[in-house]
Structures are given as structure tokens and as C-alpha cells.
Amino acid sequence: MPSLTDLYLDNNQFSGYLNIDRISKSSHLDSLYLSGNELSGQIPSSISKLTMLNRLYLDSNHFSGSLDFGIFSKLSHLQYLDLSNNRGLFITNSSRNSTLPKFVELSLSSCNNSEFPTFLKTQDELYTLDLSNNMISDPIPKWLLSIGTIGVLNLSHNCISGWEESPLTLPWKTMYFLDLHSNKLHGSLVVPPMSIIYFSISENNLVGRIDPLFCKLGGLQYLDLSSNLLSGTIPQCLGGFNSVLLVLNLRRNNFHGTMPGICGETSQLNILDLSYNNLHGKIPESLIKCKELQVLNLGHNQISDTFPYSLQSLSSKLKVLILSSNKFYGPIWYPHNFSGFSSLIIIDLSSNDFSGSLPSHYFQNWISMVETSHRKSQLNYIGDSYYVYSVSMINKGLEMMYIRIFTFFVCIDFSNNKFYGEIPRAIGDLGSLIVLNLSSNNFSGHIPSSLGNLIELESLDLSNNKLSGEIPPQLTNLTFLEYLNFSENQLVGPIPQARQIGTFSNSSFEGNWGLCGPPLSKKCETLLPPSEYSEESGDSILSGLTWKTVAKGYGYGLIIGLMIGFITTSSWPCLMLKKLGVIPPRRLR
């Protein structure tokens, strides 16, 4: 097929060595797509026979060995080259005198590069350069800053220590995408060029303040400075400096002071993460102007405020609300002033001073939590093609970092507060729940049997409350349950043994004086059988009775005895009860 110009063989299961001789007969071949296969061995030098080649995509295969870029010197038309995700490949340039083609797009991600390829010095038409996920430890060279055509640069996931010459403002005039996250950059925070749209420099060792010049970046849509050592106050201008900002992530720094007024009237902000700082004061009222807000994470600060009821106006968009480990206080609902969060899939209010009871109708409008697991097949996650949002949460008793938040991950964490009263039965209507943590509060009453409807539940923590009664047998329906903690309550009766409930260890149930049966050592039939009767024990007439039988008999006998006692000693019932050491039961309606 000598007239063939484009050959698309990507995303198949081709394996073995790449045989160029079979392809080179197509003398007019312009584009060769072999991405996403299982090709192995070295990239053959015979690739140079494809002299008209303009686009070559060999990424996501198993190519290995040393690759001398000199093999591309005869491909003068080659502009687009992708060799990324070939983890056994080592890039060299031993033929330093050879003239390489002028690349427009070059991707060498995950190719074991340990330094910046020197042949890039002459690439004065380069627009896209991806050197991410390598082992580069050198500082960013001065000559790279002089390639004025670069618009997209990804140096993330390396060990880059800094800049050969650290500029205050980066010089690339046409750059719109710059990703430097997950390196070892130190020193002050550089300011990206005015043309920037996406800027991530998270997970480095940067210090100092945010320069006010950031507020002049009118086209900036994604700003991620998280996980550094930045300090000072968050510039007030950063909140509403443009109307196109979609992501503002300042998580895990040392910022202090109050939150700036984040949004203006035309704000498009989707994700706001100011967690793990030292912010104090109250949540600014301007936050309700963030009409497109999907994620609000203010966890692990010193914010002292009541529950932000005004955020209900954002309920059609808001999916993630995290206020954990602050100083919030008071009830989280008011009569006639709470309509719920229809789109919420994650709410974390843990480790605050919230108080009050939760009415039975509290969760009735949380529509996204009611929807069932059909969403798992879609694998949608919060973010977009440019930016994937990650979050740290407590799940199954451990703090976990979720690199992506899939929309089927539904979580309620109200732990370590001062809530009281009964657990609302309506929680059982939230059929998509995967994590439910109500531990370390003052909840009382019985465990709602409706929790047995949460068939997607993987983690259930009700520990350190004042719950009483038996463990509902309906909880045996929770076949996906991986973590369970009912410890330190006032539960009684046998522990259900069917399905998942019967697989948990002693620690899941300890601290409940009335629970019995495996895995606890306390047997439900606590009284000795007849064969073990002794005069000292004096309990042979009760042998073989279960705790239920004894409790019922005791209850009926007590009631009848009190009735008779009241008739014969009506003038001194309290004195009689005191002498008997009996506490009168609550009156039943």
C-alpha cells in the first residue's frame, strides 16, 4: 500500500518486536499510531526509513533498552513524537552532531530520563514538552527558559530541586499550561506568565508569601499551590481577581488570618480547598456568590462559626462539604430553615463542637445520597480533563488519601461532636452510602434497623455513644461491610452471626456490658448448666435459661411484686424500694 498516509493501530493487543520493514513500503506514510499495545524490545533504527513521517506515537507499550535520538535525524518532517510510558526505555543522544527534526510536540514521560535532554537546546519551535514521571534531579536550566515557543510544559513527578537562575516571573510569553507538582523545588514561589491558564506547583518545598502579581493573571483557571510551606495571609485580591477561576487549591500550607472574600457576582469557581492551614474567624458571606461551587474543603483550620446554612443556596451544585477539625459550634439545622443538600455526596463535619439532635426528616432531601449504585458503572469523578481533585478522609478507622473522588463514593462523617438524641431512621434511606461515621457523640436509643437498607455500606462506626438495645438483625444485610465499630456503648443481647457481622473481631464490640456471643468471650447463656451445680452457686433452678428468659422473668416478677407491694404498703413505697435496693423502671405509655 504505497499510497497509505495514515495508519491507526493504537489500543490493540499487538505484541512482539516492531517490524518497520513491513510498514516502510508505504513511502508516503505521514502518521503512525501504535499507542496502547504490548510491543516490546528496542525501537528499531529502521524507523528512519519512514522519511515522510510527521506523527509517530509509540507511547504506552513495553519498549526497552537505550534509544539514541540520532535515529530520528533523517525524519526531517517529524514534528509530533510520543514515546511516553515505556518504562524500560532510556533516552540518550550520543550522536550529538546529528541534526534532529524540529519538534512541535514531544512527550518523553516515564522514560527513565535522569537529566534534561541536551538536544532540546536547539528545539526553537517546540510548543508541547512532557518530561513528567522521570528521575530528573537537576535544576531547571536557563536555556529551557529561552525557548520562547513553549505553550505546554509538564515537569511533574521528578526530583527537580529548583532553577538554575530563579526568575520572579517566568518568561514564556505563550505558555498556558505549566505543571511542576511533586518535585523538590525550594525557595520562593515564582509567578507564571500572564498568558497562563493552568498552574500547578503543589507538593514541593516552597516558602514565603503569595506575590500580589498573581492577582493580575486574568486568564488563570486552575491554581494549585497545595502541600508547600507557604505562609502569610491569603491575598484578599485572590478571591475575586477574575471571573474564570475554576480551581483554587491552597491546602496544606501555613497560611493564617481570615478567609478572603472568595467569589464575585460572575464567579465560575468549582473547587475551593483551603484545608490544613491556620485560618481563623468566620466563613465570609460572599461564599454564597460561588454559584458553581462543587467542592468546599475548609477542614483542619481554626475557623470559629456556626453551621453555614447559607450554603443551601448552592445545593444544586455542591457535592463535597468538609468542615472537619475546626471550631464550628451549635446545631446543624434550624426548623423552617433547612432544606438539605440535594447534590451532596460527601459531608465531613467531624471534630468540631456541633451539638443538638438530628430530626427524622434531616436527610430527606439529600437526593444524590439516595440514588443507588448504578453510578458505579459510570466511574465519573470530581474534576475535569485538566484537573483531578484529591482529598484526605477518615475511612475504616484510617486516614486515607483519595487521589480521585468518584461520584459513587458517598460519605457522612459527623464523628467527634456533641450530637445527641436518636440516630434518624431516615439515614436508612440513603441507599448510596459507603461510609457512615457517627462515633464519639452522645447519640442514644436503639440502632435503627433501617441501617440494614444501606446495602452499599463498607464502613460503619457508631462507637463511643450511648446506644442501647440489641444489634438489629437487619444489619446482616450489609454484605459489603469491611469495617464495623460498635464499641463503648450500652448494647445488649447476642451479636448477630450471619454474613459480615459475624466476621468482625472483639474490638468492634468491646465496652458493651450486655453484649454476648462470638467474638466476645462472654456467652449468651451465662448461667451454669445442672451438671455444674454447686451449693455455693445456688442457681440450679435457673440453669439452661438464656439472658432473655431471665430478663423477661425478672421484669414480670418485678412489676407484679411492685403492684402487690403498693397495695399492702401504699404509705411507704419509696422506703420499701430503697430497702430492697430496687430502682423503679420508667413508666411505659
pLDDT digits (tens, 9 = 90+) for 405-438: 888 899 999 999 999 999 999 999 999 999 999 9
pLDDT digits (tens, 9 = 90+) for 361-401: 888 888 999 976 555 556 787 877 788 888 888 888 888 88
Nine cell digits for residue 295? 467542592
Contact 176, 150 (CB under 8 A): no
For residue 237, give the nearest of 268, 258, 216 by alpha carbon: 216
- Taken in order of first residue, the domains within the chain and their CATH numbers are 1-136 (3.80.10.10), 161-305 (3.80.10.10), 321-522 (3.80.10.10), 530-580 (no CATH)
Q: Which amino acid is at 533?
A: Y
Average pLDDT in the 87-108 region?
Answer: 83
**Rounded to an integer, what is the distance from CA 371 to the centroid of its chain?**
20
297 DSSP β-pair partners:
273, 322
pLDDT digits (tens, 9 = 90+) for 5-17: 999 999 999 999 9
Average pLDDT in the 315-335 region?
Answer: 92
pLDDT digits (tens, 9 = 90+) for 153-195: 999 999 999 999 888 899 999 999 999 999 999 999 999 999 9
d(CA 266, CA 284): 17
Radius of gyration of the chain (CA): 33
177 DSSP β-pair partners:
152, 198
pLDDT digits (tens, 9 = 90+) for 437-488: 999 999 999 999 999 999 999 999 999 999 999 999 999 999 999 999 999 9
d(CA 27, CA 2): 6
Task: Report pLDDT for 135.
Answer: 95
Of the two residues 164 and 528, the one the predictor is more confident about is 164
Task: Report pLDDT for 392.
Answer: 85
At residue 47, what are phi and psi to the nearest 5 degrees?
Answer: -60, -25
232 DSSP β-pair partners:
255
At residue 55, what are phi and psi to the nearest 5 degrees?
Answer: -130, 125
Confidence bin at 537 (pLDDT 50/70/90): very low
Of the two residues 39 and 168, the one the predictor is more confident about is 39
Task: Report pLDDT for 566.
Answer: 35
Concatenating the DSSP letter of every residue in 233-260 gives EPPGGGTSS-S---EEE--SSEEEEEPP
Average pLDDT in the 566-573 region?
Answer: 34
Give the least confident one: 46-55, 119-128, 337-346, 488-497.
337-346
For residue 247, give the nearest of 228, 274, 227 by alpha carbon: 274
Task: Report pLDDT for 575.
Answer: 32
Contact 376, 331 (CB under 8 A): no
At residue 330, what are phi and psi to the nearest 5 degrees?
Answer: 85, -175
Task: Report pLDDT for 532.
Answer: 34
Confidence bin at 238 (pLDDT 50/70/90): confident
Task: Report pLDDT for 390.
Answer: 87
d(CA 98, CA 80): 19
List all residues 6 or more positions away from 459 whose beta carbon is below 8 Å from its beta carbon.
395, 396, 397, 434, 435, 436, 437, 481, 482, 483, 484
pLDDT digits (tens, 9 = 90+) for 476-524: 999 999 999 999 999 999 999 878 888 899 999 999 999 999 999 899 8
Task: Report pLDDT for 580.
Answer: 31
For residue 172, give the nearest of 126, 206, 122, 203 by alpha carbon: 126
